[in-house]
Chains A and B, each alone.
Chain A
Amino acid sequence: MSVGFGAGMTAADSVAATSAPEGGEGYETGSVWRMILAVFLENRLAVVGIGLIVFFILFSFAGPFIYHTQQTYTNLSIENQGPSLHHLLGTDGDGYDNIGRLMLGGQTSLEVGLAAAILAVFVGVIWGAAAGLAGGIIDAVMMRIVDTMLAIPFLLLLILLGTIFTVSVPELVMAIAFVAWLGPARLVRGETLSLRVREYVQAVKVMGGSQRRVLLRHIIPNTVGTVVVNATFQVADAIIAVATLSFLGFGIAPPATNWGLQLSNGTDFVYAGYWWLIYPAGACIVLTVMAFNFVGDAMRDALEVRLQKR
């Protein structure tokens, strides 16, 4: 598990020193993206990662249409049975088919992970860019707020939020985003600080362009590369956060389920030996998170390559 929401990756990213291209446009020409794509696809781990992501999305969302299980009525007479022809990965404590549970859990885990990451990045980018552009006192205040929230370990914040709000999917998404936006905010602020002294930004000001135009048309598009990399890692972190929260007991209440909750329930049966309730859920989490990490790593390498060929 990454030990901090994007904070570790933020520092690593700043060491990797990605920054925007010279030239002024916020939009890159097609050939550059094609080059990035080529480098990206060369990285076999990245291809594996994308493959895994696609697999899990299909498994969770399209799977139930192919492998029919009923997830509404419990059937305690067949609870905790091992794998059989009828139930390929056995049944869980309520008599539900386990693969069906994994599909349902995957839907929630992936939904929350993706939504939280997108929201976090959205908020973080705007906050960071605005702070970096504004400078002075406003920048100092905005960044102190970020620092303050970073000082509280994210899990403590998440648990606190989990006790305040009755947890449903939208609230879970907002809670995780509430903790995760700090990483992109710091990252984008750093990028903005280095971007705002570029000639083309100053040219826009000389021409009479507003700050808002500078922000939206020039600064933010030029941070897209780093932001996308960070967003990928945010998804990975968010999926782990959902799983951890559910494991601790602060996640979404049944009958909704997610992989973390299934893993948590499964661990009650460690000594009983019901491996099918434990390992598949854990494997799903680890494989999905690894996939996003592969993709994020490969994208970061691809971006660096582009910069080296400048």
Chain B
Amino acid sequence: MIGYLVRRVFQSLVVIIGVTIITFILLHLLPGNPVVAILGPRATHADVVALTNQLGLNKPLPQQYLIWLSNLAHLNLGYSYKQTESVDALLAARLPNTLLLVGTSTVLAILVAVPLGVLQSVRRNKPDDYVMTGLTFVFYSMPTFWLGILLIIVFSATLHWLPAEAPQAQNSLLSQVNGLVLPVVTLALVTLALFSRYMRSSMLENLVQDYVRTARAKGVSGRAVLFRHVLRNALLPLLTLIGLSIPGIISGAVVTETVFNYPGMGYLFVQSAFGYDYPVLLGVTVVVALATVIGSLVADILYAVADPRIRYV
């Protein structure tokens, strides 16, 4: 068990370093010159040179990378080129919002997907299975932004039940809960579609296993077999799936935040991309990738705790 843990943590560290390298390389391929972006089109050549030196942009790339990496270790992510705040201040303001969105959506998706998957597997090939599977298919095939727009059209423009924009108050999103409903529901529906399909096939696989037949032969009631034996085994692969899906959910969150003007990291990322705001882009990517790696590490550890067989992989 300890050996497995050590290996997994080491793997994660390698991945994190790899992520920083990749993002650093990518961002230095960007064509926009950030110095010009900061100073504006009227800057003189002398100003440009001065700021370039000041920001350390004239040093060789590997050196810049190491400088940036050491800053990262001190939690200093630099200053935004466009906005007057430091990157970590920007991120600190937005990270909780995104966590709220992603966390609530994922929990909601899991809470609905598990019973839905169980239900679908039990009533396989009956009409309700077809209806549920069909609906899941439709949501699975919809681009996230399209679903968000549809929800806005229905609930905001037509019915006027919910606001079309997420609450913009910087200090507390929870003050206007009804502005949170549509973004969370959008992201949850899309995630739910994936989870419940997976849950359904996982349940179906387990239902044909020998141990189910044994339990039934022993006289265990149908419901007990389902919930005490099959469900536990079927949930395990879902853990891995959730760990693997975190990057995808975050991608969905980026879109959802943009559609609803939700003040989170995804929206910040999109805005910064338009402005070639190097440090912010790099900061968001690293933070998100870090969260992803930690998330899948936690998922794997939970899986190892739950299922002793895989500790020796």
Contact = CB atoms under 8 A, between A and B. Distances in A.
A152 B143 contact: no
A153 interface: yes
Contact of B143 (A12, A148, A159, A244): A244
B97 interface: no
A161 interface: yes
Given A152-B22, A248-B255, 12 more contacts: A1-B141, A2-B140, A8-B244, A15-B201, A147-B11, A150-B247, A151-B247, A151-B296, A153-B292, A154-B248, A156-B288, A263-B145
Interface stretch (A21-29, A199-207, A286-294): A286-294
Contact of B137 (A7, A156, A282, A293): A293
Given A1-B142, A163-B30, A271-B157, A148 B252 contact: no
A285 B143 contact: yes
B220 interface: no
Contacts of A159: 254, 269-270, 273
B140 A293 contact: yes
16 contacts: A1-B147, A1-B252, A2-B140, A8-B245, A12-B198, A145-B18, A151-B296, A153-B247, A240-B141, A244-B143, A244-B255, A263-B145, A263-B146, A267-B149, A282-B149, A293-B137
Chain B residues touching A, majority SS: helix
Interface in B1-58: 11, 14-16, 18-19, 22-23, 26-27, 29-32
Interface of B: 11, 14-16, 18-19, 22-23, 26-27, 29-32, 137-138, 140-147, 149-150, 152-153, 157, 190-191, 194, 197-198, 201-202, 205, 237, 240-241, 244-245, 247-252, 254-255, 258, 269-270, 273-274, 276, 281, 284-285, 288-289, 292-293, 296
Given A4-B244, A8-B241, A11-B237, A290 B149 contact: no
Contacts of A145: 18
Nearest to B187: A3
A149 interface: yes
Contacts of B190: 1, 3
A1 B143 contact: yes
A152 B19 contact: yes
A11 B32 CA distance: 39
A240 B143 contact: yes
Contact of B141 (A152, A163, A271, A293): A293
Contact of B201 (A16, A248, A270): A16
A118 interface: no
B22 A149 contact: yes
Contacts of B142: 1, 285-286, 289
Given A3-B245, A8-B198, A244 B138 contact: no
B146 A286 contact: yes
Contacts of A267: 149
A152 B143 CA distance: 20
B288 A152 contact: yes
Interface in A251-276: 260, 263, 267, 270-271
A271 B157 CA distance: 7
A122 interface: no
Interface residues of A, number: 52
Interface of A: 1-5, 7-8, 10-12, 15-16, 144-145, 147-157, 159-164, 236, 240, 243-244, 247-250, 260, 263, 267, 270-271, 278, 282, 285-286, 289-290, 293-294
Contacts of B241: 8, 11-12
Contact of A7 (B145, B202, B244): B244
A18 B138 CA distance: 26
Contacts of A243: 143, 145-146
A159 B267 CA distance: 12
Nearest to A250: B273
Given A147-B15, A244-B143, A152 B237 contact: no
B143 A3 contact: no
Given A12-B201, A144-B14, A151 B270 contact: no
Contacts of A154: 247-248, 251
B247 A164 contact: no
A243 B144 CA distance: 10
A164 B278 CA distance: 12
- What 8 pairs across the A-B complex have the smallest Cβ distances? A3-B248, A4-B248, A148-B18, A155-B251, A289-B141, A153-B247, A290-B141, A153-B251
B31 to A, nearest CB: 7
Contacts of B273: 159-160, 162-163, 250
Contact of B254 (A12, A151, A156, A164): A156
Contacts of B270: 159, 248-249
Contacts of B191: 3
Contact of A247 (B143, B150, B205, B245): B143
